[in-house]
């Protein structure tokens, strides 16, 4: 995520912060480079313009040139403007309505609607203790409803029983009715995708919206499509009305143009981002944390959150005690390695640490990777308990 932009900006800032004093020419030069970096990251032109204008205004207003650490001051201003562009505060899914709260998922074919529906359901269950019912309104693609049922079993969330021959609107009504009768908190409506925006799709979405009155309408868009995702959001918003956006495949998007332009262009918040195919690979979109990540400060908060979820605190405390007593054996090492894998592997952890972005190439060149961790574990696991001790 954002690797290329992050690389470029850290290069620009390195140059700035290394100097004692900055001239106006230095700031202008840096702004030119920032502008180029943003454009190369596929950020919309309007956004780039507004971004650099804001940074320039504040840099002048704040008297950067006279300040004690001018370079850092510029970094701070860029950080602030970045956060504003991304939407300032994180906007989680809003469930403040009379249950069952309906959430409707819309988007083009293959954007990740069904996967994201199941990811959200899992998250609502595990983190918010919500009883969720998922319903697939996709009667176009064969086995689409079955796909959601399979994911439902996987994440242990109920899906609406499939009744062949019903229209999407009928299914949506049945889902709301079932949820009311059975006391569900949330109903997730997974709609069918199309290859492109067309009239029948929009009409169908509008009809489902009218009949089920969703509290949230989330557009699921593929981050890899860059500016197309932003245009898509605008189109959907005009016709159906959106309450938020989920950008999927952020794991494969090194540039980040869609994420950076979305809020500014559409005025709609990105609520969540998909960062992989697994059911846990869904992150909250926090402008502060994303800005930190882009500016190469790492994403310590995400690391801490991940660690808090994946690591057994009690086990970690015991391991630390044993280590302090000099009793660390191969079994302990094996447990530690297992936890590293749980948090997302070495790559996952490293990416979240401040400053590591700059060493990425060296790390890759050292041949230090997750395969090594797995191999080490396999070696230890093949030993007898005695050998491990
Ligand atoms: N790497 C990655 N893959 C994802 C992500 N989200 C979804 N996918 C994959 O994208 C593919 C399509 O996902 P679906 O959820 O079936 O997409 P859909 O929008 O429901 O597709 P239709 O129902 O056909 O319109 C699947 O193979 C998912 O595993 C993500 O955040 N990262
Ligand atoms: Mg689907």
For the chain, 389 residues long, give each residue's pLDDT as a single digit of tens: 788 888 888 888 888 777 767 778 888 888 999 999 999 888 999 999 999 999 988 887 666 555 556 777 778 788 889 999 999 888 999 999 988 999 999 999 999 999 999 999 999 999 999 999 999 999 988 889 999 999 999 999 999 999 989 999 999 999 999 999 999 999 999 998 877 778 888 888 899 999 999 999 999 999 998 889 899 999 999 988 999 999 999 988 878 888 899 999 999 999 999 999 999 999 999 998 888 888 876 565 566 667 767 777 777 778 888 888 888 889 888 888 888 887 777 777 777 776 666 666 777 777 767 788 888 889 999 999 899 98
Evaluate: CB of 148 within 6 angstroms of ligand 1.
no
**Which one, of 180, 191, 192, 184, lies nearest residue 157 by Cα?**
184
- Strand runs labelled E in 156-229: 158-159, 186-190, 216-222
- Report which secondary-structure segment, H or E, holds 287: helix 287-294
> Helix, strand, coil shares of the chain as percentages rounded to 5?
60, 10, 30
CA-CA-CA-CA torsion sign (118, 119, 121, 125): positive
186-190: strand order across its sheet: 158-159, 132-136, 186-190, 101-106, 216-222, 244-248, 270-274, 282-284
221 alpha carbon – ligand 1 mean position (Å): 10
197 phi and psi, to 5 degrees?
Answer: -70, 125
Round the average pLDDT of the chain to a whole number and report it.
86
Nearest-angstrom CA–CA distance, 132 and 292? 33
Counting ligand 1 atoms within 8 A of each CB, the residue from 105, 106, 111, 112 with the most, and so the one to mutate, is 112
Where do the structural domains in the chain lie, given as residue ranges? 3-86, 101-296, 302-388
Nearest-angstrom CA–CA distance, 183 and 198? 36
Record: fold of 101-296: Rossmann fold (3.40.50)
Counting ligand 1 atoms within 8 A of each CB, the residue from 107, 110, 254 with the most, and so the one to mutate, is 110
Instruction: Point out which residues pair with 102 in neighbouring strands.
Output: 187
pLDDT at 355: 65
**191 in Cβ contact with 222 (< 8 Å):** no
**148 in Cβ contact with 115 (< 8 Å):** no
Evaluate: CB of 277 within 6 angstroms of ligand 1.
yes
Name the CATH code of domain 3-86 (choices 1.20.120.140, 3.40.630.10, 3.30.413.10, 3.40.50.300). 1.20.120.140
């Amino acid at each position: 995520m954002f690797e290329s932009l992050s690389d470029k900006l850290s290069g620009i800032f390195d140059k700035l912060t290394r100097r004692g004093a900055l001239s106006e020419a230095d700031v202008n030069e840096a702004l030119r480079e920032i502008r180029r970096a943003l454009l190369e990251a596929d950020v919309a032109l309007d956004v780039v313009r507004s971004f650099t204008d804001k940074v320039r205004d504040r840099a002048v207003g704040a008297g950067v040139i006279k300040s004690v650490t001018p370079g850092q001051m510029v970094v701070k201003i860029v950080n602030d403007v970045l956060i504003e562009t991304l939407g300032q505060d994180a906007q989680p899914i809003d469930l403040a309505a009379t249950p069952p709260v309906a959430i409707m998922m819309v988007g083009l074919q293959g954007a990740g609607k069904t996967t994201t529906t199941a990811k959200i359901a899992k998250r609502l269950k595990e983190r918010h203790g919500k009883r969720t019912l998922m319903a697939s309104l996709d009667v176009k693609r064969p086995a689409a409803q079955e796909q959601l049922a399979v994911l439902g079993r996987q994440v242990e969330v109920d899906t609406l029983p499939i009744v062949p021959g019903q229209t999407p609107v009928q299914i949506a009504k049945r889902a709301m009715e079932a949820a009311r009768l059975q006391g569900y908190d949330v109903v997730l409506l997974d709609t069918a995708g199309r290859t492109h925006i067309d009239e029948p799709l929009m009409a169908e979405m509008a009809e489902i919206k009218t009949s089920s009155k969703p509290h949230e309408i989330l557009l699921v868009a593929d981050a890899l499509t860059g500016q197309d995702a932003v245009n898509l959001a605008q189109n959907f918003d005009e016709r159906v009305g959106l309450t938020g956006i989920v950008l999927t495949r952020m794991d494969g998007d090194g540039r980040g143009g869609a994420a950076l332009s979305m809020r500014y262009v559409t005025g709609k918040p990105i609520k969540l981002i998909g960062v992989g195919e697994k059911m846990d690979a869904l992150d909250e979109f926090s402008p502060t944390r994303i800005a930190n990540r882009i500016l190469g400060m790492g994403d310590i908060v995400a690391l801490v959150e991940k660690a808090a979820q994946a690591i057994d605190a009690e086990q970690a405390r015991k391991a630390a005690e044993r280590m302090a007593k000099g009793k660390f054996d191969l079994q302990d090492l094996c447990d530690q390695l297992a936890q590293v894998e749980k948090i997302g592997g070495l790559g996952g952890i490293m990416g979240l640490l401040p400053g590591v972005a700059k060493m990425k190439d060296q790390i890759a060149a050292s041949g230090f990777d997750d395969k090594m961790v797995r191999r080490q574990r396999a070696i230890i696991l093949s030993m007898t308990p005695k050998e491990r001790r």
